[in-house]
Amino acid sequence: MRNAALSLLLDRGPRAFQPGAFLVVVPRRSGPQRLPCDNLWPMHNIKLTVAYDGTDFRGWQIQPGQPTIQGALTEVVQELTQERLSLQGAGRTDAGVHAWGQVVNFKTHSELAPEEFRRGCNALLPPSIRVREAEEVGPDFHARWMAQAKTYVYSIYRGAVVPPVRWRYVLHVPQELDFAAMAEAARYFEGERDFTSFSASTGSQEEDRDQTMIRCVFRSELIDQAESSGAAPANSICDHLSHREEWIYVVRGTSFLRYMVRKIIGTLLQVGRSRLPAGEIPNLVEKRDRSCSGPTAPPHGLCLQSVEYPDPTASLLGKSRGR
C-alpha cells in the first residue's frame, strides 16, 4: 500500500510539490500496523543501480554532519518505507569520486514495487544522485560481499581548454606525455599482486593490520579516445560527454585498495613525463613500499563504472508479491 503523499509523488512526480510546500507522509494502511520486527510480514531485498556526481559529497560512506551518498540515499529510502534500515554499497567511493554503476541493496517490509522505489527515490533525491535501475533480488544478495569484479574509469583531458561540461569529470593535463610508455606501463598492473606500494592507509591501524593487500587486476588499459574504436566503456557518466581529446584509463579487478587507482594514475603520469621507465613498474610492486608510487591523482577524474555479480543474481523481477 502507498500513503497519500507518496501516491501523489509517484503519480505526478516532484512537481506535485511546489517550493516551500511540506511533504507529509501519513500511513494509510488498514488492519494491524506492521512492525519491522514482525516476522509475519515478508522481507524484500531491493537492489538499486545508482549514478552520481561526487563533487559535492564527502564520499559514499555516512559521516556525521557531512553530505554523503549513502546518507542521502538512506534518508530517502527510509522516508519511502517508513522504516529504519541499512543500505549496503558495493564500493566505498572517496570524496569527489563519481559513479555510473554503484550497486546498493537494502531489506524492507515495504510492499512498494521496485519501479516505485526508482521513481520515488529520483523524485526526492538531489539531481546529482540518480537511481538508474531497481529490482528485487534473492534474500542472500549483498551488494558488497557478492561483487565479483569492479571497473573504474579515470579520464585525462589532453586539450588546451577543458569544455565547461567536462571539468568536473576529468584531470586536465595539457602538457606533453608519452602515451606509448604509459600504455606499456599500464599493462604491468594486470595479474594477482600485492599492491601495498599503490595503496593508502585506511586510517585505522587495526583495519590496516587485518586487510590483505593482494588484489587481482583483470584489465589495466590506457585508451586514446582519438584513436579508440569502441574499446572504452560505453554508457557511463564519463562517456556521454566524452571528448576525442581525452585519454581514458580503464581498470577492472576483484576489488581495490584505498586510493589504489588514483596512485596508479599518478605513477602512469610519472612514466608519461619520462620521470620513470615503464619497465620499472614490476620493481615498484615488489618493493611493497607506499613511498615508491607516484603522487595520488585527484579524485574528480575517477568514476566507478560498473560492478559485476554472479549470473544470474537471483533476481525476483516478474514474480508476484500477491498485490
Write the CB contacts of 10 (distance below 8 Å, at least 6 apart in sequence): 2, 116, 119, 120, 123
Identified catalytic residue from 11, 53, 94, 289? 94
| Contact criterion met (CB below 8 Å) for 245 and 170 | no
Catalytic annotation present for 94: yes
227-233 own/partner pairs: CB under 8 Å, 24+ apart: 232/153, 233/151, 233/153, 233/305, 233/306
Q: Which of 144, 143, 145 is nearest to 134 (CA)?
A: 143
Tell me the three state secondary structure of residue 51: strand
Alpha-carbon span 249 to 183, nearest angstrom: 9
Q: Which of 142, 66, 132 is nearest to 104 (CA)?
A: 142
φ, ψ at 307 (rounded to 5°): -130, 135
Alpha-carbon span 95 to 10, nearest angstrom: 31
Q: Where are the alpha helices (DSSP H) in 13-161?
A: 69-81, 114-124
Q: Which of 267, 322, 312 is nearest to 289 (CA)?
A: 267
Interior angle at CA 98, CA 6 and CA 73, nearest 5: 25
Q: Calculate helix-pair angle for 114-124, 4-12, nearest 10 degrees.
A: 80
Only one residue has cell 567536462, namely: 166
Take residue 100 and report the three cell numbers written for it. Answer: 555510473
Instruction: Please list the active-site residues.
Output: 94
